[in-house]
Amino acid sequence: MNHGIIMGGVVDYYYDSIKRAPGAHKIATHLRREGWDIEVLDFVQSWTIEELQEFSRQRVNKKTKFLGLSATFSIRFKILFEFVRWFKEEYPDILIIGGSQAFHNCEGLPLDYMVHGYGELAMSAILSGDVKYTSHKWLNGHNFKRVDATHDYMAARMKNLSTHYEERDYIQPQEVLTVEFGRGCIFNCHFCTLTYRNIKDDHSRAEDNLYTELLENYEKWGTTNYSISDETVNDYTEKIERFAGAIRKLPFRPNMAGYIRGDLLVHKHKDWQAIEDIGLNTQFYGIESFHRPSARAVGKGMETGKLQDGLLEYKDYMKSKGHFQAHLSLIAGLPHETLDSLRETKAWIQKNWIGQSTQIMPLWIPDQVRQYEEQSRFAMNPAKYGFTKTTMAESNHNNAPFTDGPQKRFRKLYEGIKFREDQQQGKVVYNTEESSFQEEMSFMNWKNETTNLYQVLEYLEHEWYAGDEQLWNEPPFPFSYHNWLIDPTYKWEDMKTPKDKLALPKDLAADFIKDYKRKKLGLTS
Ligand code: B12
Ligand code: SF4
């Protein structure tokens, strides 16, 4: 049997993440169906180079055809650069294949192929020896072949999106695994960078294999906790009803966290039962703005009072059923937004959203187009939406130094923009091979008729995040539960407790990864 290895790791919030690399397991499952022996190595960011080398020496054999690198987010870690260079020297005939939905997550890594997009079909084509590709060079000069899975080998409509884990994955019952219901979104919001948006027909998976996947994980590993990777879980009723039907038949009740469109939730009471039956009791709402003209400007325009009242009614309904947590995600600086309209939003949150979570970020319009990066319509034509470029000096008339607010949130962002303006002629320069997405994020310094980026940063730093009852009582964010639940004494229901009162089990997480590595390397002590 042909053999391959896929390494991956998801670095999200807090410390060394104990979240499994969802793309690595997905590609592994797909190739196993085609007769391959594929092993996944998780938490790659937490392995030392010696450990990765030892793992390779133990696993690589005559049948090993490829080393895969999975990048849900950036995997440009110093150790991985060193390791992949070593691997290529040691095993020159084995292909090195990177995969990500965001092309630059693997920038600079010495790959043979880079699969860009949902990668199942592209991977099959590469391994069959007959694949369409284009040749490229990373900024550091390394040549590689790009396989376009956003168009040529589009795997966004697969009816079987199951992930199967193996004994050698050492899954623990308290983990939060990723599950996919479908790929793409039926909407087309103006600021969105999702590749598969505006898809109007049913693009979701079949419910029978969802049932089998959840049952298998429950029976084999005791898994009941999931995060759903769909961009919008409730985009259409028929999909959630099918999945609710399958989940009702399970011998257990899962807990799930996922992205929900708040306006649809409020509009469609008939979806409430299906969402509850799915176990989707932890919801992330991309509200963007409670100022109606601003929300309208990006394609979300429900009347504000109706939306807010509806969310509160839904919150009461779900709370009466058991655990419920809802997160509001907002953007500061959409067209027509003013500091006063933001203040109104903040006042509503302080009054109505205590015990739930929120996050607000300044509007990000990328200033520099990176090749193959999906662009939002905002980024393609900022002027059409009323945005023009400004400078820190122009926005900050006194040229006053940035002062930290009580939570010290935005200094880095401010300094990054200022540094690029002052030192790099506005361009993003790759300072090191392993620089992060945050370091490279090109931020247009924008102004519009009602405000500008500097004003928004100042407002968020000194007013929004000044500290208040709502902020002090915030529970963990929906997609971060795994960081706590690695401690088996925590239950999903505990995740409504304010973060301050939930000790973060850092040591347990470190031990979990240590134990995983030990098992993978066959060490007894
Ligand atoms: C859940 C999620 C989050 C959660 C993650 C929590 C967690 N621990 O799971 C949170 C809320 C933290 C988050 C944050 C952010 N996110 Co997010 N997120 C997602 C989301 C919705 C699901 C991720 C997932 O599990 N996908 C399912 C798996 C199966 O997909 P995958 O890993 O990409 O694997 C496929 C391909 O990449 C490829 N592939 C992967 N590995 C391999 C290996 C090989 C060998 C091959 C051939 C192919 C291959 O094939 C796989 C299967 O088709 C995705 C969108 C999406 N639907 O995927 C966005 C997405 C990953 N996020 C995105 C963005 C922009 C962000 C933020 C920057 C947002 C922000 N402005 O703050 C941050 C960045 C965080 C960071 N660390 O840098 C972008 C791109 C990320 C990037 N540029 O690096 C995405 C793609 C959405 C989009 N299109 O805009 N996110
Ligand atoms: S912002 Fe959300 S709802 Fe809008 S197109 Fe993107 S994924 Fe869909």
Q: Which of 36, 47, 157, 48 is nearest to 97 (CA)?
A: 36
134-137/64-70 β-pairing: unpaired
Q: Whose CA is nearest to atom 54 of ligand 1?
A: 229
Q: Is the pLDDT of residue 366 over 80?
A: yes
* pLDDT (tens digit per residue) in 192-204: 777 788 888 888 9
Architecture of domain 3-155: 3-Layer(aba) Sandwich (3.40)
82 phi and psi angles, rounded to 5 deg? -65, -45
Q: Is the pLDDT of residue 12 over 80?
A: no
Q: Which of 204, 241, 178, 151 is nearest to 24 (CA)?
A: 178
Query: Which of 33, 40, 65, 73 has most ligand 1 atoms within 8 Å of CB, for mutation?
Result: 73
Q: Is the pLDDT of residue 243 over 80?
A: yes
Whole-number Å distance, alpha carbon 404 to ligand 1 midpoint, is 31
Lowest mean pLDDT among 62-76, 171-185, 274-288, 372-386: 372-386
Q: How confident is the model at residue 400 (pLDDT cuts 50, 70, 90)?
A: confident
Residue-range domain boundaries for the chain: 3-155
- Ligand found nearest the CA of 26: 1
* pLDDT (tens digit per residue) in 88-98: 999 999 999 99
Q: How confident is the model at residue 81 (pLDDT cuts 50, 70, 90)?
A: very high
494 phi and psi angles, rounded to 5 deg? -70, -15
Whole-number Å distance, alpha carbon 27 to ligand 1 midpoint, is 14
Percent of the chain with pLDDT over 70: 97
Q: How confident is the model at residue 13 (pLDDT cuts 50, 70, 90)?
A: low
221: tokens are: 């590993």
Radius of gyration, alpha carbons of the chain: 23
* pLDDT (tens digit per residue) in 422-468: 887 766 666 677 776 666 677 899 999 999 999 999 999 999 999 99
CA distance 88 to 95: 8
* pLDDT (tens digit per residue) in 302-360: 999 999 999 999 999 999 999 999 999 999 999 999 999 999 999 999 999 999 999 99
Q: Cβ of 269: how many Cβ atoms within 10 Å?
A: 12
| Bigger pLDDT: 155 vs 398 | 155
Q: Which amino acid is located at 491 in the chain?
A: K
pLDDT at 428: 67
To the nearest 10 degrees (0 to 180), the angle between helices 49-59 and 78-90 is: 30
418: tokens are: 């200022």
CA atoms within 13 A on the CB side of 149: 24
Sheet holding 225-228, edge to edge: 176-179, 225-228, 255-260, 282-288, 325-332, 357-362
- DSSP, collapsed to helix, strand or coil, labels residue 65 as strand
Lowest mean pLDDT among 255-269, 407-421, 430-444, 495-509: 430-444
* pLDDT (tens digit per residue) in 258-310: 999 999 999 999 999 999 999 999 999 999 999 999 999 988 889 999 999 99
Q: Is the pLDDT of residue 14 over 60?
A: no
pLDDT at 16: 67
CA distance 322 to 44: 36
Exposure string for 4-21, b = 16+ CB within 10 A, e = fewer: bbbbbbbbeeeeebbbbb
* Average pLDDT in the chain: 93
* pLDDT (tens digit per residue) in 115-144: 999 999 999 999 999 999 999 998 888 999
CA distance 396 to 485: 44
The verdict on the CB of residue 192 being under 6 Å from ligand 2 is yes
Q: How confident is the model at residue 101 (pLDDT cuts 50, 70, 90)?
A: very high
Which residues lie with the beta carbon below 6 Å from any ligand 1 atom? 6, 10-12, 19, 22-24, 26-27, 68, 70, 72-74, 97, 99-102, 105, 115, 118-120, 123, 155, 178, 180, 193-194, 227, 229, 231, 437, 479
CA distance 12 to 151: 28
| Bigger pLDDT: 114 vs 432 | 114
Prediction pTM value: 0.95
Q: Is the pLDDT of residue 379 over 80?
A: yes
SS3 annotation, 180-218 = CCECCCCCCCCCCCCCCCCCCCCCECCHHHHHHHHHHHH
pLDDT at 436: 66
* pLDDT (tens digit per residue) in 44-71: 999 999 999 999 999 999 999 999 999 9
CA distance 110 to 98: 9
CB 119 within 8 A of CB 158: no
